[in-house]
Amino acid sequence: ILSRGVNEVSDCIFCKIVSGEIPSKRLYEDDKIIVINDLNPGAPVHVLVIPKEHTENILTASPDIVTYVKSKLPELVKMLKLDEKGFRIVINTGEDGGQSVPHLHFHILGGKQLGWPPC
């Protein structure tokens, strides 16, 4: 895999969003993650929590980044005004899991009662 910057994978759309090569409105950003609106929302609130460091999925991810995202969740769902009524977190993984972008990301969906499957 060709890498351009530290951890950046050259043909990865989320690495391009993280680096700013593809512009995006960041609802939240720190040194480890960005939060952006999903391009194709499946609920009134549908954001993506994207770790800055490229890793393909939840299986390849370090436990540290998963712990980090969990530690930020209360703050993020409050920011999204989902703390009162609840929300759903989705981590699609691999082909049968419906993962279309092979850079780990957490969907947070809310703003209405969600059916199953999500979206």
Classified as helix, coil or strand, 72 is helix
The least CB distance from residue 74 to ligand 5GP, in Å, is: 23
DSSP alpha helix (H) spans, 21-109: 63-79
The H or E element containing residue 13 is: helix 13-19
The pattern of x and - marking residues 96 through 115 that bind Zn ion according to CB under 5 A reads -------x------------
Per the CB < 8 A criterion, the answer to whether 59 and 93 are in contact is: yes
Q: How many residues bind ligand 5GP (CB under 6 A)?
A: 13
Under the binding rule (CB under 6 A), the answer on residue 40 touching ligand 5GP is yes
100 binds, among Zn ion, ligand 5GP, none (CB under 5 to 8 A by kind): ligand 5GP
Going by C-alpha positions, the residue among 4, 75, 3, 2 that lies closest to residue 33 is 75
Per the CB < 8 A criterion, the answer to whether 101 and 10 are in contact is: no
The least CB distance from residue 86 to Zn ion, in Å, is: 30
Under the binding rule (CB under 6 A), the answer on residue 61 touching ligand 5GP is no
Under the binding rule (CB under 6 A), the answer on residue 29 touching ligand 5GP is no
List residues with catalytic annotation: 105
